[in-house]
Amino acid sequence: MSKIVITGGAGFIGSHIAESLAKDGHEIVIVDNLDPYYSVALKKRNTNIVLNSGNATFINADVTDLDKIKDVIDSTVDYVFHEAAQAGVRISVEDPFKPNDVNVLGTLNVLKASLDSGVKKVINASSSSVYGKVKYLPFDEQHPTEPVSPYGVSKLAAEHYCRVFYEVYGLPTTSLRYFTVYGPRMRPDLAISIFTRKMLANEPITVFGDGKQTRDFTYIDDVVEANKRLINNKLTDGKILNIGDGNRISVNDLIENLRSITGSTSEIIYAGKQKGDTEDTLANIDLGNKLIGYKPLFDIHKGLNKFVDWFKNEGDVLEFNK
């Protein structure tokens, strides 16, 4: 078994990866600064789930602090799953400096510490936001990258640093471009979480734009499985892989699916389109299938049903709104 550091391990995706790897018997070190971008109570709950899943420890540290990250990523560490980031496309439009600090400088710090310590591989969480302007669909990994938000720019810069650290310094890295991940414990500011909460309360739902924009939604269990398949996989060294469902659905159809599941009577209110939002996303996942046998098991209907069931049982509304 391996010793694995997971930055951003108190967050949505990071905590799921950490939990699964801990259950597999690996030694897990969660690194997170518990940034109050959203509920710290949620992050602490995520952390406790991981700590109760196996041999896991938590370290409160910020990836922008190189000295602290060097202390954590030492010669005893085998793998690093770099999930820490300042997320949020719309937030990045309002403040482009923070995503640059966390997502670019933070990634550089993680890579430098990993290189100096002889880490076997760094798995970097990237985003479909790097594609930006649509030239064709589905996006394959060779699609031009023209981000339309500072967040997308920061994730693309992080990808390039990962590539350079592999090509120049010989540090094995793989970047995974996630396509709109959802599922239990997801961030409360994401559309599926907001829609579900409001639908269960029969409250009005605000949609930015006309609702015809489409997204490739990816269930969290498929993302976790993709990450785990990178351990001891040399074929992916220096590579970038799309991790999506390979299908897309409009926001309007997403709402109707949720309405069918919840029986909600929520009114839909259409508002102006938000700056930085991509019109459409759709992943070509052929490369992931070829290199790691990636094949998503949860389509949007199965995933939404599982999420709504979880939300009814564990999605504490007050906690989500803190």
Distance CA 288, CA 241 (A): 6
DSSP-based three-state secondary structure for 96: coil
The backbone torsions φ and ψ at residue 104, rounded to the nearest 5 degrees and listed phi first, read -95, -60
Residue 163's CB is within 10 A of a number of other CB atoms, namely 16
Instruction: Copy the structure tokens of residue 96.
Output: 């482009």
Query: Which amino acid makes up residue 226?
Result: A
Distance CA 210, CA 268 (A): 11
Distance CA 283, CA 278 (A): 14
Of how many residues is the chain composed? 322
The backbone torsions φ and ψ at residue 118, rounded to the nearest 5 degrees and listed phi first, read 75, 30
Distance CA 224, CA 53 (A): 15
DSSP lists the bridge partners of residue 285 as none
Residue the block writes with tokens 């351990």: 231
Query: Which of 242, 250, 246, 254 has its CA nearest to residue 301?
Result: 254
Quick one: which H or E segment has residue 175?
A: strand 173-178
- List active site positions: 151
Rg of the chain over CA atoms, in angstroms? 19
Strand 249-250 to 218-219 pairing: unpaired
Distance CA 308, CA 314 (A): 10
DSSP lists the bridge partners of residue 215 as 249
Kindly list the strands in the beta sheet with 173-178, ordered across the sheet, starting from the edge strand earlier in the chain: 56-60, 27-32, 3-7, 79-82, 121-127, 173-178, 239-243
